[in-house]
């Protein structure tokens, strides 16, 4: 009974929440392809297919960005939950809000596909920046909740989550810098976002690197 106090608000194993999350992530990934398929079907009779696809290159680029966004989020989602054995109500609510953000990624993706080549491209990228910022904040909140409520398996997992939580603080600050850079020049902000994508594609490795 000694471990009951730390788990008094536990309502399920975290594996059940991970199963739900995987379903949401997979649906969000699938929705991204709809715009690409729509472009492929819009070819008018007599129109050169290659020219049509080149003209709509922005749709393909937006799909790639959206896919990478959701996939990197999925990798980080599992990095946090793999170190979390139990899920209490607080964790479920924070995780649910994060899944709402994941489900919303197709919206900025669609805006980017529509405006990547026109004068509203900065606004479309800014919307993506806001999405990245909120996503980073949700990962910090998820790791914070798991640590605060002692939902980890052991001390090693607690240390891993502590490192991840600090890494997500860097992600929050980095996204703010990216959005500020966007106000200067899109070509300044894009490499910064690419660097962030690359780093957080390997969240545990990056978090441990920060604390060597």
- Say yes or no to pLDDT of 155 above 60: yes
pLDDT cut 90: percent of the chain above it:
41
pLDDT at site 76: 95
- Say yes or no to pLDDT of 87 above 70: yes
Q: How far, in whole angstroms, is CA 147 from its chain's centroid? A: 21
Tokens 């106090």: give the residue.
5
Range of the domain at 58: 12-210
- Say yes or no to pLDDT of 157 above 50: yes
6 occurs within a structural domain: no
At 89-143, the pLDDT tens digits run 999 999 999 999 999 998 888 888 788 777 788 888 898 889 999 999 999 999 9
Beta strand residue intervals within 65-192, DSSP E:
86-88
- Say yes or no to pLDDT of 188 above 50: yes
> Mean pLDDT, to the nearest integer, of 72-95?
92
Of 166, 164, 171, nearest in space to 198 by CA? 171
The answer to whether the beta carbons of residues 140 and 162 sit under 8 Å apart is: no
1 occurs within a structural domain: no
Q: Please, which contacts does 67-73 make with residues 24 or more away whose CB atoms are closer than 8 Å?
A: 67/29, 67/32, 68/197, 69/105, 69/109, 69/128, 69/131, 69/132, 69/135, 69/197, 70/25, 70/28, 70/29, 70/32, 70/102, 70/105, 71/29, 72/197, 72/200, 72/201, 73/25, 73/102, 73/105, 73/135
178 occurs within a structural domain: yes
Report the number of distinct structural domains present in the chain: 1
176 occurs within a structural domain: yes
2 occurs within a structural domain: no
What pLDDT band is residue 48 in, cutting at 50, 70 and 90? Answer: confident
4 occurs within a structural domain: no
pLDDT at site 21: 92
- What average pLDDT does the structure give for the chain? 86
5 occurs within a structural domain: no
Least confident of 73-77, 111-115, 179-183: 111-115
pTM of the model: 0.85
pLDDT at site 115: 82
What pLDDT band is residue 10 in, cutting at 50, 70 and 90? Answer: low
* Phi, psi dihedral angles at 152 (to 5 degrees): -85, 165
């Amino acid at each position: 009974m000694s471990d009951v106090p730390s788990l008094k608000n536990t309502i399920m194993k975290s594996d059940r929440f991970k199963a739900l999350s995987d379903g949401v992530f997979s649906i969000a990934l699938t929705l991204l392809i709809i715009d690409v398929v729509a472009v492929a079907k819009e070819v008018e009779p007599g129109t050169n297919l290659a020219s049509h696809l080149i003209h709509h290159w922005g749709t393909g680029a937006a799909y790639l960005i959206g896919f990478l966004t959701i996939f990197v989020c999925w990798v980080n989602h599992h990095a946090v939950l793999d170190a979390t054995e139990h899920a209490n109500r607080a964790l479920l609510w924070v995780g649910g809000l994060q899944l709402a953000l994941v489900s919303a990624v197709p919206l900025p993706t669609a805006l980017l596909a529509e405006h990547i080549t026109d004068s509203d491209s900065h606004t479309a990228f800014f919307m993506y920046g806001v999405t990245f910022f909120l996503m980073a904040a949700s990962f910090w909140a998820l790791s914070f909740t798991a640590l605060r409520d002692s939902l980890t398996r052991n001390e090693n997992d607690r240390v891993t989550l502590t490192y991840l939580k600090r890494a997500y603080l860097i992600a929050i600050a980095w996204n703010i810098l990216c959005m500020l850079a966007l106000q200067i020049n899109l070509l300044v902000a894009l490499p910064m976002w690419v660097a962030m994508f690359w780093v957080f594609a390997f969240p545990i490795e990056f978090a441990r690197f920060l604390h060597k």
